[in-house]
Structure 1
């Protein structure tokens, strides 16, 4: 499974944070590793000038062998929560495939 991780300029908090986010994604999707060929992860701040709630956005899009891509998004107070919630949605979608 190839992972591409995209962020806005200040979204990931540096390489250390990006590496931990990638590890979190890989770990959560390990049971589906055989069918996922590619994953795009996008982090963004929907309101960078303010510190409002639910401004951190995570979009995960996966490519699967012999199936259509699946994309999920989540907005939360932190990138960590947005990634966690997007992974919950994504794994639920993958479990629906049976």
Structure 2
């Protein structure tokens, strides 16, 4: 899984911030790493736009193999809260996608307790 971190002009993009964000994302999404080809995180500060107290924003774009990109965002009072909030949202979506794929046609049936194709 390739991970890219970017920031806008209002969030200082340091090597330390990039390293921390990548470690957070890899740790939280490690169970999906075989299914994700790319993960992009964009960190921004919306205070310049007059957003008030909750002005840090994280947008995550995940690219699962063979599926459309998944995009989530979260705003919070700090960059780390925004990243963690967006990560939780992304985990939820990827969990649901994984569960749906695991329960596709041909699985166990309620009536017989096994696949109808298994006779």
**Are residues 1:74 and 2:74 paired?**
yes
Deviation beyond 6 Å, 4+ runs, structure 1: none
Unaligned runs of 5+ in 1: none
Task: Tell me the residue number matched to 1:64.
Answer: 64
What TM-score, normalized by structure 1, do the two folds share? 0.91
Deviation at 1:49, TM superposition (A): 7.9
Mapped contact 1:12–1:43 kept (Cα < 8 A): no
- Higher Rg: 2
Unaligned runs of 5+ in 2: 100-119
Mapped contact 1:74–1:85 kept (Cα < 8 A): yes
Q: 2: CA distance between counterparts of 1:29 and 1:12?
A: 25
Mapped contact 2:38–2:62 kept (Cα < 8 A): yes
Deviation at 1:47, TM superposition (A): 1.2
RMSD: 1.7
Deviation at 1:11, TM superposition (A): 1.2
**Residues 10-25 of structure 1 mapped to structure 2, 5 A cutoff:** 10-12=10-12, 14-25=14-25
Q: 1: CA distance between counterparts of 2:42 and 2:59?
A: 5
What TM-score, normalized by structure 2, do the two folds share? 0.76
Q: 1: CA distance between counterparts of 2:63 and 2:51?
A: 33
Question: Helix, strand or coil for the counterpart of 1:57?
Answer: strand
